[in-house]
Amino acid sequence: MGKDSKAKKKAKRADQDQQGTGDGAVVSKAEEAAAKVRARVKSAKKLAKARKAERAAAEAALAASSTVEDIAKQLGIPAAPPPPFEDLGSQLRVERGFVLADLDPRSTPGYSGDKRSAELDLEAGRAELSDLQERLFANGKDGEGPSVLLIVQGMDTSGKGGIMRHVVGATDPGGVKYTAFKVPTAEERAHDFLWRIERALPDPGQLGVFDRSQYEDVLVVRVHDLVPQAEWSKRYAQINAFERAAARKGIVVVKVLLQISSDEQRARLGERLDRPDKFYKFNPGDIDERARWSDYQEAYQAVLDKTSTKGAPWYVVPADRKWYARLAVQQLLLEHLRDLDLQWPEATFDVEVEKERLAET
């Protein structure tokens, strides 16, 4: 029995040794496979890093020697979209031979976007407008800098109020001189028609805004025969001379006509009658003026023919689409402010000395 017991124990140990050897082989194979995977991952990372470096080098080389379009083409990516504004000023400026009746009031000259993009572009332009207006104001602190005068004309409901809210409203009111010209007062009628206009001109550094203007005296006055033709017909030349004098004082005049269609005006007047929150905007006289639509169009054509000058041209903005009109006026204003190339004024004091004085307080 003793020998059998020893034999059984020896056989059992042999079985255990054989089983252990099999498990070790499995573990060894698993480790080997894992090592291969790690090696492949490491190799792939090195390859990706090398490719990234090559791409960066290629992009740098392209940027140094190619246009944006060339780079986009070689990298297989879309080129940047074209700018939304295409020389807006030249497309809206009134040149010799311009015919107001040929303008489509629903068109969007110089702009390739839609209502949604226009809202975004209008918002984007506000920061630049604010910055340029502040530069304008800063340059007028010494009483010698330039100023800008925005004149907005248009038939009733053409959107003048919207321009004031959405364009002018984005500026600092402290630097704006706003005037809405109404029926002349008794005092104003006692003077030349340009007397009240001159009093409203912006001072250096200011953004002047006229909601209606001196042109009422060759529009309403003409249509309603308020003064003899011999008198109002001389006013075109007087206005041109007045604007030349303003330019000599450093005033940049930007004249905008918001042009809407008769159908659009009817719709907007109808909205004012349908909505209680718009009643305050309605004037029964607006319907009386609609009956003179053709007379007003003839009067506006005369204004454009006789007073769109090289120094103070008119810009006619199609205004049936409010979103376009607001954006167009904002961009026209920006164009004129950019052209001034306004820089921040140099300090008129010793900056370092003032810093030391401040530190001592």
pLDDT bucket at 62, cuts 50 / 70 / 90: very low
Q: What is the mean pLDDT of residues 198-221?
A: 97
What confidence score (pLDDT) does residue 13 get? 53
**Sequence-distant (≥ 6) Cβ neighbours of residue 265 within 8 angstroms:** 155, 156, 157, 158, 290
For residue 19, the model assigns a pLDDT of 47
Compare 55 and 163 and report the one with higher pLDDT: 163
Domain assignment present for 31: yes
Whether 360 maps to a domain, the answer reads: no
pLDDT(129) > 70? yes
- The mean pLDDT of 6-33, rounded to a whole number, is 52
What's the total number of domains in the chain? 2
Residues 107 and 47 in one domain: no
Question: Which has more confidence, 309 or 29?
Answer: 309
Verify that 64 and 173 share a domain, yes or no. no
d(CA 200, CA 197): 5
Same domain, residue pair 45 and 108: no
Same structural domain, 247 and 301: yes
285 & 186 share domain: yes
Q: Is pLDDT larger for residue 203 or for residue 63?
A: 203
Residue 163 lies in a domain: yes
240 shares its domain with 326: yes
Tell me, what's the pLDDT at 86?
Answer: 67
Taking the C-alpha atoms of residue 38 and residue 50, their distance in angstroms, rounded to an integer, is 18
Question: pTM of the predicted model, to two decimals?
Answer: 0.77
Domain that holds residue 43: 1-80
How many Å separate Cα 131 from the centre of its chain?
Answer: 13
Of the candidate ranges 3-7, 181-185, 263-267, 345-349, the one whose mean pLDDT is the lowest: 3-7
Q: Residues 289-314: what's their mean pLDDT? A: 97
pLDDT number for residue 78: 45
CA distances from 302 to 97, 211, 218, 229, 236 (A): 12, 20, 9, 13, 9
Output the pLDDT for position 85: 72
Whether the per-residue pLDDT at 138 is higher than 70: the answer is: yes
Position 48 scores a pLDDT of 61
